[in-house]
Amino acid sequence: MGLTRRAAIKGVLATAIGAATGTATYGVAYERHHLGVTRATLDVSGLPAALDGLRIALLTDIHHSRLVGADDVTRAVQLAQSERPDLIVLGGDYVTFGDRAFVGPVAELLAPLAAPHGVFAILGNHDDDKDMPAALARKGFTVLKDRRTRIELRGEALELAGIRFWTRRAVEIAPVLEKARNTVLLLAHDPRRLTEAAALNVPAVLSGHTHGGQILLPGVGAVAKAARFPILQGVGRRENTSIFVSRGIGTVYVPVRVNCPPEVALITLTRRALA
In a domain, 18, yes or no: no
In a domain, 263, yes or no: yes
Q: Mean pLDDT score of the chain, rounded to an integer?
A: 89
Which residue from 66, 72, 73, 121 is spatially nearest to 96, judged by alpha carbons? 66
CA–CA gap between residue 116 and residue 180 (Å, rounded): 23
pLDDT surpassing 60 at residue 26: no
pLDDT score at 11: 35
Q: Give the mean pLDDT of 34-38.
A: 97
| More confident call, 68 vs 272 | 68
In a domain, 12, yes or no: no
pLDDT score at 12: 30
In a domain, 11, yes or no: no
Nearby residues of 10 by Cβ (< 8 Å), 6 or more positions away: none
- Torsion sign over Cα 250, 187, 210, 190: positive
Q: How many domains does the chain have?
A: 1
Q: Give the mean pLDDT of 81-90.
A: 98
In a domain, 224, yes or no: yes
CATH number (domain holding residue 54): 3.60.21.10
In a domain, 104, yes or no: yes
pLDDT score at 5: 39
Among residues of the chain, what percentage have pLDDT more than 90? 81
Half-sphere exposure of residue 29: CA atoms within 13 angstroms, side-chain side: 6
Which residue from 166, 173, 176, 181 is spatially nearest to 197, judged by alpha carbons? 173
Residue pair 58/267 in contact (Cβ under 8 Å)? The answer is yes
pLDDT surpassing 90 at residue 6: no
Domain span including residue 139? 34-272
CA–CA gap between residue 263 and residue 195 (Å, rounded): 25
Which residue from 258, 263, 251 is spatially nearest to 65, judged by alpha carbons? 251
pLDDT surpassing 60 at residue 85: yes
In a domain, 144, yes or no: yes
pLDDT score at 220: 79
pLDDT score at 274: 62
CA–CA gap between residue 92 and residue 133 (Å, rounded): 10
CA–CA gap between residue 63 and residue 98 (Å, rounded): 9
Q: Which of 1-15, 60-74, 111-125, 135-149 has the lowest mean pLDDT?
A: 1-15
pLDDT surpassing 90 at residue 269: yes
At 89-146, the pLDDT tens digits run 999 999 999 999 999 999 999 999 999 999 999 999 999 999 999 999 999 999 999 9
- Torsion sign over Cα 63, 31, 261, 114: positive
At 168-206, the pLDDT tens digits run 999 999 999 999 999 999 999 999 999 999 999 999 999
pLDDT score at 275: 58
In a domain, 21, yes or no: no
Instruction: Provide the 10 A C-beta neighbour count for residue 7.
Output: 10
Query: Residue 242, exposed/middle/buried by CB under 10 A (0-12, 13-18, 19+)?
Result: buried
pLDDT surpassing 60 at residue 149: yes
CA-based end-to-end distance of the chain: 71
CA–CA gap between residue 103 and residue 136 (Å, rounded): 9
pLDDT score at 30: 63
